[in-house]
């Protein structure tokens, strides 16, 4: 038996103003995208803004459905939009944020496993890591480089692409 450890490196910021101008702008655009969230059941709005290598920003927000499994997370809404409209684009950075009127969100929210797997597929397709900003409105921001930091045992099977 072998005992192994996995550790991740990330940056933590106490406020938005500590980020560079481009990352601040992306976080603000993610906050704006909260307005497009359709979340009448959970009342938990999630949004993302994704910056492509040519400077284009694509936003997404969670879209719920009365049949719960039929909804879609903000990250996948944005990523699938990019895949359909900018298939050759390189994703540089994603900013993700959330809001609810039901309680105060005190820490940055992170992605679900399904969204991480989709993000990993985009990294694999573009052969470049994606930088992720988890933005707690009026609070901390976490910056992570690369999906494998968040999903170290990402599903990969190279023979499927043959």
Which residue is it, tokens 């707690």? 136
What band does 156 get if pLDDT is binned at 50, 70 and 90? confident
Single out the catalytic residue among 75, 92, 106, 123. Answer: 75
Which residue is it, tokens 């990993």? 120
Which pTM was predicted?
0.94
Burial degree of 123 (CB within 10 A; 0-12, 13-18, 19+): middle
Task: For residue range 104-153, list pLDDT tens digits in order.
Answer: 999 999 999 999 999 999 999 999 999 999 999 989 999 999 999 999 98
For 29, the domain range is 11-151
**Per the domain annotation, does 116 fall within a domain?**
yes
Which residue is it, tokens 């992570």? 144
**Per the domain annotation, does 2 fall within a domain?**
no
Spatial CB neighbours of 18, under 8 Å, sequence gap ≥ 6: 141
Can you give the pLDDT at residue 68? 85
Q: Is 75 a catalytic residue?
A: yes
Assign residue 64 the CATH number of its domain.
3.40.140.10
DSSP element (H, E) containing 141: strand 141-145
**Per the domain annotation, does 160 fall within a domain?**
no
- How far apart are alpha carbons 45 and 74 in whole angstroms? 9
Task: For residue range 47-98, list pLDDT tens digits in order.
Answer: 999 999 999 999 999 999 999 889 999 999 999 999 999 999 999 999 999 9
More confident residue, 130 or 162: 130
Q: Which two tokens stand for residue 131?
A: 């930088």
How many domains is the chain partitioned into structurally? 1
């Amino acid at each position: 038996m072998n005992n192994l450890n996995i550790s991740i490196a990330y940056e933590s910021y106490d406020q938005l103003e500590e980020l560079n101008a481009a990352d601040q702008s992306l976080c603000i655009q993610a906050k704006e995208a909260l307005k497009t969230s359709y979340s009448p059941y959970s009342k938990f709005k999630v949004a993302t803004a994704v910056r492509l290598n040519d400077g284009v920003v694509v936003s997404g927000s969670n879209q719920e459905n009365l049949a719960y499994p039929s909804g879609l997370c903000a990250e996948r809404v944005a990523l699938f939009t990019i895949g359909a409209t900018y298939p050759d684009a390189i994703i540089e950075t994603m900013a993700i944020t959330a809001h609810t009127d039901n309680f105060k969100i005190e820490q940055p929210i992170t992605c679900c496993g399904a969204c991480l797997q989709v993000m990993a597929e985009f990294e694999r397709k573009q052969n470049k890591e994606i930088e992720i900003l988890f933005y707690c409105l009026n609070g901390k921001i976490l910056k992570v480089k690369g999906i494998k930091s968040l999903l170290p045992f990402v599903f990969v099977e190279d023979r499927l692409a043959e």
